[in-house]
Structure 1
Amino acid sequence: MNPADDLSGEWRGIFNYPAAQPPTEFTATLHDAGGTLSGHTVEPGLRGGTVTARIDGRRTGQAVTFNKLYDDERDGDYDTVAYRGAVDADGTEIAGRWTIPGAWSGTFIMVREHGIEAEIGLEATEEVR
Protein backbone atom coordinates (compact mmCIF):
# COMPACT_ATOMS: atom_id res chain seq x y z
CA MET A 1 0.00 0.00 0.00
CA ASN A 2 1.19 3.52 -0.83
CA PRO A 3 1.88 5.62 2.32
CA ALA A 4 -0.13 8.46 0.75
CA ASP A 5 -3.22 6.20 1.00
CA ASP A 6 -3.19 6.32 4.81
CA LEU A 7 -2.18 9.55 6.54
CA SER A 8 -2.55 8.13 10.05
CA GLY A 9 0.27 9.05 12.38
CA GLU A 10 2.15 11.84 14.07
CA TRP A 11 2.97 14.97 12.07
CA ARG A 12 4.96 18.14 12.77
CA GLY A 13 4.32 21.33 10.91
CA ILE A 14 4.37 25.08 10.65
CA PHE A 15 1.83 27.59 9.49
CA ASN A 16 2.74 31.02 8.18
CA TYR A 17 0.81 34.21 8.83
CA PRO A 18 0.09 36.74 6.07
CA ALA A 19 1.71 39.52 8.13
CA ALA A 20 5.23 39.93 9.46
CA GLN A 21 4.74 37.40 12.26
CA PRO A 22 7.04 34.39 12.61
CA PRO A 23 5.78 30.94 11.57
CA THR A 24 4.03 28.90 14.26
CA GLU A 25 4.99 25.28 14.89
CA PHE A 26 2.35 22.67 15.66
CA THR A 27 1.96 18.93 16.07
CA ALA A 28 -0.90 16.90 14.67
CA THR A 29 -2.13 13.37 15.24
CA LEU A 30 -4.12 12.13 12.24
CA HIS A 31 -6.39 9.12 11.91
CA ASP A 32 -7.24 8.20 8.30
CA ALA A 33 -10.16 5.77 7.98
CA GLY A 34 -10.56 5.19 4.25
CA GLY A 35 -10.16 8.88 3.47
CA THR A 36 -12.05 10.28 6.47
CA LEU A 37 -9.62 12.29 8.58
CA SER A 38 -9.91 12.94 12.30
CA GLY A 39 -7.45 13.76 15.04
CA HIS A 40 -6.14 16.74 16.96
CA THR A 41 -3.48 19.46 16.95
CA VAL A 42 -1.42 21.16 19.65
CA GLU A 43 0.20 24.58 19.16
CA PRO A 44 1.49 27.51 21.22
CA GLY A 45 -1.18 29.92 22.44
CA LEU A 46 -1.04 33.57 21.49
CA ARG A 47 -0.78 34.49 25.18
CA GLY A 48 1.40 31.59 26.29
CA GLY A 49 0.59 27.98 27.10
CA THR A 50 -0.78 25.65 24.45
CA VAL A 51 -4.08 25.33 22.62
CA THR A 52 -5.64 22.23 21.12
CA ALA A 53 -8.04 21.66 18.27
CA ARG A 54 -9.96 18.78 16.71
CA ILE A 55 -9.42 17.82 13.07
CA ASP A 56 -12.33 16.86 10.83
CA GLY A 57 -11.69 16.31 7.12
CA ARG A 58 -11.13 14.18 4.02
CA ARG A 59 -8.38 12.76 1.84
CA THR A 60 -9.35 12.19 -1.78
CA GLY A 61 -6.40 10.95 -3.80
CA GLN A 62 -3.65 13.48 -3.10
CA ALA A 63 -6.09 16.25 -2.08
CA VAL A 64 -6.37 16.85 1.67
CA THR A 65 -9.02 19.10 3.22
CA PHE A 66 -9.77 19.49 6.89
CA ASN A 67 -11.13 21.94 9.43
CA LYS A 68 -9.24 22.64 12.62
CA LEU A 69 -11.89 23.23 15.32
CA TYR A 70 -10.38 24.93 18.35
CA ASP A 71 -11.34 23.92 21.86
CA ASP A 72 -13.08 26.48 24.08
CA GLU A 73 -9.95 27.49 25.98
CA ARG A 74 -8.19 28.94 22.93
CA ASP A 75 -7.24 32.60 22.84
CA GLY A 76 -8.18 33.83 19.34
CA ASP A 77 -11.24 35.51 17.86
CA TYR A 78 -12.19 32.48 15.74
CA ASP A 79 -12.89 28.82 16.34
CA THR A 80 -12.47 27.19 12.91
CA VAL A 81 -9.60 27.24 10.42
CA ALA A 82 -10.00 25.56 7.00
CA TYR A 83 -6.96 23.75 5.57
CA ARG A 84 -6.64 22.77 1.88
CA GLY A 85 -3.56 21.04 0.55
CA ALA A 86 -2.00 18.04 -1.14
CA VAL A 87 -0.01 15.09 0.12
CA ASP A 88 3.20 14.22 -1.72
CA ALA A 89 3.59 10.87 -3.52
CA ASP A 90 5.60 9.41 -0.60
CA GLY A 91 2.89 10.28 1.92
CA THR A 92 5.39 12.15 4.10
CA GLU A 93 4.43 15.78 3.47
CA ILE A 94 1.21 17.78 3.22
CA ALA A 95 1.42 21.39 2.01
CA GLY A 96 -1.16 24.00 1.13
CA ARG A 97 -3.14 26.98 2.47
CA TRP A 98 -5.15 27.67 5.61
CA THR A 99 -8.01 30.15 5.78
CA ILE A 100 -10.00 31.80 8.53
CA PRO A 101 -13.16 32.64 6.58
CA GLY A 102 -13.53 36.39 6.15
CA ALA A 103 -10.26 37.15 7.94
CA TRP A 104 -6.77 35.70 7.30
CA SER A 105 -5.07 33.07 5.22
CA GLY A 106 -1.56 31.73 4.85
CA THR A 107 0.48 28.67 3.95
CA PHE A 108 1.25 25.52 5.93
CA ILE A 109 3.40 22.43 5.67
CA MET A 110 3.25 19.20 7.71
CA VAL A 111 5.84 16.40 7.74
CA ARG A 112 5.11 12.90 8.98
CA GLU A 113 7.21 12.02 12.04
CA HIS A 114 8.77 8.88 10.52
CA GLY A 115 9.71 11.02 7.51
CA ILE A 116 11.54 13.42 9.81
CA GLU A 117 13.44 10.59 11.49
CA ALA A 118 14.43 9.09 8.14
CA GLU A 119 15.57 12.51 6.93
CA ILE A 120 17.68 13.07 10.07
CA GLY A 121 19.15 9.57 9.76
CA LEU A 122 20.06 10.18 6.12
CA GLU A 123 21.73 13.50 6.98
CA ALA A 124 23.69 11.84 9.81
CA THR A 125 24.83 9.07 7.46
CA GLU A 126 25.94 11.60 4.88
CA GLU A 127 27.93 13.59 7.45
CA VAL A 128 29.78 10.50 8.74
CA ARG A 129 31.04 9.49 5.31
Structure 2
Amino acid sequence: MVAAAGASQQGPASKHMAGRAEGVSQNLTGVWSGRYFYPRELPPVSFVATLIETATSLTGMTHEPAATSTARYASLQGQREGNAVSFTKTYDKAQLKAHPIHYSGIINGDATEIKGTWRIPGYWSGNFLMIRSPGKVAAVTRKVAERV
Protein backbone atom coordinates (compact mmCIF):
# COMPACT_ATOMS: atom_id res chain seq x y z
CA MET A 1 0.00 0.00 0.00
CA VAL A 2 1.43 3.38 -0.99
CA ALA A 3 0.61 6.44 1.07
CA ALA A 4 -0.37 9.64 -0.71
CA ALA A 5 2.19 12.43 -0.68
CA GLY A 6 2.01 14.33 2.60
CA ALA A 7 -0.03 11.60 4.34
CA SER A 8 1.49 9.83 7.27
CA GLN A 9 1.29 6.14 7.90
CA GLN A 10 1.71 4.88 11.45
CA GLY A 11 2.43 1.38 12.58
CA PRO A 12 1.93 0.13 16.14
CA ALA A 13 5.34 1.30 17.34
CA SER A 14 4.97 4.83 16.00
CA LYS A 15 1.44 5.08 17.43
CA HIS A 16 2.83 4.05 20.82
CA MET A 17 5.57 6.66 20.63
CA ALA A 18 3.10 9.31 19.44
CA GLY A 19 0.88 8.49 22.41
CA ARG A 20 3.84 8.95 24.70
CA ALA A 21 4.77 12.27 23.13
CA GLU A 22 1.22 13.61 23.35
CA GLY A 23 0.55 12.21 26.81
CA VAL A 24 2.93 11.46 29.61
CA SER A 25 6.60 11.20 28.68
CA GLN A 26 8.22 11.26 32.11
CA ASN A 27 9.72 8.12 33.56
CA LEU A 28 7.74 6.72 36.51
CA THR A 29 10.81 5.62 38.47
CA GLY A 30 10.56 6.98 41.98
CA VAL A 31 8.90 6.80 45.36
CA TRP A 32 5.11 7.07 45.40
CA SER A 33 2.71 7.52 48.31
CA GLY A 34 -0.58 5.78 47.77
CA ARG A 35 -3.91 4.82 49.20
CA TYR A 36 -6.30 2.08 48.19
CA PHE A 37 -9.97 2.06 49.02
CA TYR A 38 -12.31 -0.83 49.74
CA PRO A 39 -15.79 -0.94 48.20
CA ARG A 40 -17.57 -1.03 51.56
CA GLU A 41 -17.22 0.80 54.85
CA LEU A 42 -13.72 -0.47 55.55
CA PRO A 43 -11.09 2.25 56.05
CA PRO A 44 -8.64 3.03 53.22
CA VAL A 45 -5.09 1.69 53.45
CA SER A 46 -2.01 3.86 52.88
CA PHE A 47 1.11 2.44 51.24
CA VAL A 48 4.49 3.48 49.87
CA ALA A 49 5.60 2.14 46.49
CA THR A 50 8.98 2.31 44.81
CA LEU A 51 8.57 2.00 41.04
CA ILE A 52 11.28 1.25 38.49
CA GLU A 53 10.39 1.89 34.83
CA THR A 54 12.55 0.41 32.08
CA ALA A 55 11.19 0.96 28.56
CA THR A 56 7.56 -0.16 28.97
CA SER A 57 8.23 -2.48 31.92
CA LEU A 58 7.32 -1.58 35.53
CA THR A 59 8.71 -3.33 38.59
CA GLY A 60 8.86 -2.35 42.20
CA MET A 61 7.98 -2.96 45.82
CA THR A 62 5.34 -1.71 48.25
CA HIS A 63 5.01 -1.66 52.00
CA GLU A 64 1.92 -0.88 54.02
CA PRO A 65 0.74 -1.15 57.60
CA ALA A 66 -1.05 -4.35 58.60
CA ALA A 67 -3.67 -5.09 61.23
CA THR A 68 -0.88 -6.61 63.31
CA SER A 69 2.29 -4.78 64.27
CA THR A 70 4.31 -5.95 61.24
CA ALA A 71 4.17 -4.24 57.87
CA ARG A 72 3.10 -6.02 54.68
CA TYR A 73 5.54 -6.10 51.78
CA ALA A 74 4.73 -6.90 48.17
CA SER A 75 6.42 -6.97 44.77
CA LEU A 76 5.06 -5.28 41.64
CA GLN A 77 5.32 -6.46 38.02
CA GLY A 78 3.63 -4.70 35.13
CA GLN A 79 3.80 -2.44 32.14
CA ARG A 80 3.13 1.03 30.84
CA GLU A 81 1.57 2.06 27.55
CA GLY A 82 1.48 5.84 27.10
CA ASN A 83 -0.52 7.20 30.03
CA ALA A 84 -1.90 3.78 31.07
CA VAL A 85 -0.29 1.47 33.62
CA SER A 86 -1.17 -2.02 34.75
CA PHE A 87 0.63 -4.12 37.29
CA THR A 88 0.14 -7.07 39.59
CA LYS A 89 0.94 -6.81 43.29
CA THR A 90 1.98 -10.04 45.02
CA TYR A 91 2.48 -10.04 48.78
CA ASP A 92 5.59 -11.67 50.22
CA LYS A 93 3.74 -13.63 52.94
CA ALA A 94 2.75 -17.13 51.82
CA GLN A 95 -0.90 -16.87 52.90
CA LEU A 96 -1.36 -13.65 50.91
CA LYS A 97 0.44 -14.84 47.73
CA ALA A 98 -2.61 -16.90 46.75
CA HIS A 99 -4.49 -13.71 45.84
CA PRO A 100 -2.46 -11.44 43.52
CA ILE A 101 -3.98 -8.00 43.11
CA HIS A 102 -4.37 -6.47 39.64
CA TYR A 103 -4.07 -2.69 39.28
CA SER A 104 -5.02 -0.59 36.23
CA GLY A 105 -4.54 3.16 36.22
CA ILE A 106 -4.08 6.37 34.29
CA ILE A 107 -1.11 8.71 34.74
CA ASN A 108 -1.88 12.43 34.91
CA GLY A 109 -0.26 14.92 32.49
CA ASP A 110 2.83 15.72 34.56
CA ALA A 111 3.33 12.13 35.80
CA THR A 112 2.79 13.01 39.46
CA GLU A 113 -0.39 10.94 40.02
CA ILE A 114 -1.71 7.54 39.03
CA LYS A 115 -5.41 6.93 39.60
CA GLY A 116 -7.33 3.76 38.88
CA THR A 117 -8.85 0.53 40.13
CA TRP A 118 -7.57 -2.62 41.81
CA ARG A 119 -9.17 -6.04 41.87
CA ILE A 120 -8.74 -9.49 43.29
CA PRO A 121 -10.67 -11.60 40.78
CA GLY A 122 -13.68 -13.20 42.44
CA TYR A 123 -13.25 -11.33 45.75
CA TRP A 124 -12.76 -7.57 46.00
CA SER A 125 -12.22 -4.46 43.94
CA GLY A 126 -11.84 -0.77 44.64
CA ASN A 127 -10.06 2.44 43.69
CA PHE A 128 -6.51 3.59 44.31
CA LEU A 129 -4.47 6.78 44.05
CA MET A 130 -0.68 7.12 43.96
CA ILE A 131 1.17 10.45 44.23
CA ARG A 132 4.86 10.80 43.38
CA SER A 133 6.97 11.98 46.29
CA PRO A 134 8.80 15.12 45.10
CA GLY A 135 12.57 15.14 45.34
CA LYS A 136 12.94 11.37 45.74
CA VAL A 137 13.07 10.58 42.02
CA ALA A 138 16.75 11.47 41.70
CA ALA A 139 17.70 9.39 44.75
CA VAL A 140 15.92 6.29 43.44
CA THR A 141 17.37 6.81 39.95
CA ARG A 142 20.84 7.13 41.47
CA LYS A 143 20.40 3.88 43.48
CA VAL A 144 19.17 2.01 40.40
CA ALA A 145 22.12 3.29 38.35
CA GLU A 146 24.56 2.23 41.08
CA ARG A 147 23.25 -1.37 40.97
CA VAL A 148 23.98 -1.76 37.26
Same fold (TM over 0.5): yes
Q: Does 1:63 align with 2:63?
A: no
Report the RMSD for the aligned CA atoms in angstroms: 2.3
Distance 1:4 1:86 in 2: 13
2:120 and 2:69 mapped to 1: Cα distance?
Answer: 21
Matched, 1:16 2:27: no
Q: Which structure has greater strand proportion? A: 1
- Greater Rg, structure 1 or structure 2? 2
Deviation at 1:4, TM superposition (A): 4.2
1:82 correspondence with 2:102:
yes
Q: What is the aligned length?
A: 115
Query: TM-score, normalised on structure 2?
Result: 0.71
In 2: Cα distance, 1:91 partner to 1:4 partner: 8
Report sequence identity in percent: 39
- Aligned AA for 1:114? P
Gapped runs of 5+ residues in structure 2?
Answer: 1-20, 137-148
Letter in 2 for 1:95: K
Secondary structure in 1 matching 2:39: coil
Structure 2 residue corresponding to 1:45, chosen from 46, 61, 66: 66
Q: 1:77 to 1:108 in 2, by over 3 A?
A: same
Code of the aligned partner of 1:14: R
- 8 Å CA contact 2:56–2:79 kept in 1: the answer is yes
C-alpha offsets along residues 48-94 of structure 1, whole Å, 9 cap, x if unaligned?
A: 32010000000100000000011125x65843100001000100000
* Residue matched to 2:53: 32
Quick one: structure 1 residues 68 and 77, their matched pair in 2 at CA, closer, same or farther if it must change by over 3 Å? Answer: closer
* TM-superposition CA deviations, 1:89-113 (whole Å, max 9, x none): 1000000000001100000000000
* Deviation at residue 46 of structure 1 after TM alignment: 3.0
Hey, which bits of structure 1, 4+ residues long, moved more than 4 A? 1-4, 75-78
